[in-house]
Structure 1
Amino acid sequence: MSASLQTYVLALSALFSIVNPLGSAFIVSTVIAGRAHAERVQLAGKIAFYSLIVMLVALWGGAYVLSFFGISLSALRISGGLVVAINAWSLLQAPETTEARKQQQAAEAEGIDAVAFFPLTIPFTTGPGTIAVAITLGSNRPYAGEEALGFVLGVSAAALTVAAIVWLTYSFADRIEAMLGRSKAQVVSRLAAFLLLCVGTQIALSGVADFVRSLR
């Protein structure tokens, strides 16, 4: 139980920081601004479900995919971190342009099902950075004994928790934004984008450090 709890806390902090549900919720709220609250809640449930599936698949199948294609974890971390950092930088530099582009993509899709998976789940919520972090977590799992079971339970519970937070924040993002006001919501979005830039940079640096160690 102690090992499962430690794994849960570690995985939760890693997945929560990269998914960034609150910051992403404000962006998604802007993208789907023309939809009714009931439709937003339904859409949030679908995004949360799809996000959970993406995280679980990356956790338990991602390492095998990397092995099949001969891709190292360091290469995954570097590429995933760079993608996250670049996207976060674009949000910091021109958030209005980025939100307008995302809103246009969402508006072009017809119906909730069409827009829930792409682009609101991938790449808005669980993009390359989340997949890279999940694969890295899954590749560190033990393969036998009680430690393996504790790891599976802990990491899976962390993914489920993050998905639940995504559902809550996305469902009530419009009301949170109305309570804060548009200007304060934009400040929160900017802070979230900066934190995301830091997370992406850290992922890339970890990949570079792993690559250097492998050369030695």
Structure 2
Amino acid sequence: MILQEYSMSLTKGFFFTLATLLPFLNPPAIAPIFLAVTENLSPETRLILAKKISINIVLMLTAVVLIGSTILNFFGISLSIVKIGGGLLIAYSAWKLVNSNEQEKLSHENNKEELSKDQIQALSFYPLTFPITCGPGAIAGSITIGVTILSNNTYSFIPSLLGIISGITLAAISLYICMKFAAQLLDKLGKSGTAVFIKISSFIMLCLGIQVSWDGLKDVVSAMLLSIS
């Protein structure tokens, strides 16, 4: 009986996490953005970055699930403000990609840059892990997972947490696969097709960032109007 309950808690945590996070992480859409940011880097460096981003995702989202809501409450930050700030960061990162200098990219085409370990570590977290891959939507979703699955669930806390971590890990693996083979997949489009696809993806990302900020702003305004009334 206990084993069955543990199994159900693990399964629930796993599938609930996947269903919540995959739409926010959206691995296929991240691939062209990742390629655009790392276009002037060597394939070896790009592969290292893909691995580090995937590991960062697992560590970051697991931490958010466990202590995300506590940290926000401690600093008095609402999810609405997280959406506004995170959305602006996404929009800023996307704006730089949309307005990137094509001539500069061409000049690096046959001169791939090599980064130091510190530079790779820094780039793998900002902006590639946060806010591009793991934005405010994924953070809000992770907090929701923690509140929904782990709160008031002391008896089956461990199997539920294992299920959540397994779901996050599988999502991170799917991200890694998409980033690893991004160049091969987009090479079939040719240089012009790839450039157009990256610009379109960057513009969609820009719109997404603005939408996330707008949603957060609407929540803040709605809360203000309710408090006034």
Same fold (TM over 0.5): yes
- 2:69 is matched with 63
- The answer to whether the aligner puts 1:54 opposite 2:60 as a matched pair is yes
Out of 161, 165, 168, which is 2:170 matched to? Answer: 161
Secondary structure of residue in 2 paired with 1:144: coil
**Structure 2 match to 1:114:** 118
Q: Distance between the aligned counterparts of 1:203 and 1:72, measured in 2? A: 14
Say if 2:30 is the partner of 1:21.
yes
**Amino acid across the alignment from 1:175:** Q
Query: Structure 1 71/122 Cα, relative in aligned 2: closer, same or farther at 3 Å?
Result: same
SS in 2 for 1:175: helix
1:190 counterpart residue number: 199
Distance 1:157 1:194 in 2: 32
* TM-score computed with the length of structure 1 as normaliser: 0.75
- What are the equivalent positions in structure 2 for 1:56-95 lying under 5 Å apart? 56-92=62-98, 94-95=99-100
The question of 1:96 aligning with 2:101 is answered: yes
Q: Deviations over 1:75-128 (max 9, x none)?
A: 111111112122222322x1237x86xx8xx94732xx3343211332123327
Task: Tell me which moved more, 136-145 or 191-200.
Answer: 136-145
How many residues are treated as equivalent by the alignment?
205
Counting only pairs closer than 5 Å after superposition, residues 114-193 of structure 1 correspond to structure 2 as 114-127=118-131, 130-140=134-144, 141-142=147-148, 143-145=151-153, 156-193=165-202
Q: Distance in 2 between matches of 1:75 and 1:55?
A: 18
Q: Which amino acid aligns with 2:47?
A: V
Q: Equivalents in 2 of 1:75, 1:68: separation in Å?
A: 14
| Structure (1 or 2) with the larger CA radius of gyration | 2
CA distance in 2, matches of 1:152, 1:209: 33
Equivalent residue of 2:188, what SS?
A: helix
Equivalent pair of 2:94/2:205 in contact (CA under 8 Å): yes
Change (3 A) 1:123 1:151: farther
- Which position in structure 2 is the counterpart of 1:9? 19
Task: Indicate the percent of aligned positions where both proteins have the same amino acid.
Answer: 25
Query: Distance in 1 between the 2:29 and 2:22 partners?
Result: 11
Quote the Cα distance in structure 1 between the aligned partners of 2:80 and 2:219. 6
- The answer (yes or no) to whether the contact 1:74–1:208 under 8 Å persists in 2 is yes
1:205 maps to 2:214: yes
CA distance in structure 2 between the partners assigned to 1:7 and 1:78 by the alignment? 24
User: Per-residue deviation at 1:50?
Assistant: 2.2
Letter in 2 for 1:13: P
CA distance in 2, matches of 1:161, 1:83: 26
Gaps of 5+ in 1: none
CA distance in 1, matches of 2:222, 2:162: 31
Structure 2 residues without counterparts, runs of 5 or longer: 1-7
2:176 maps to amino acid: W
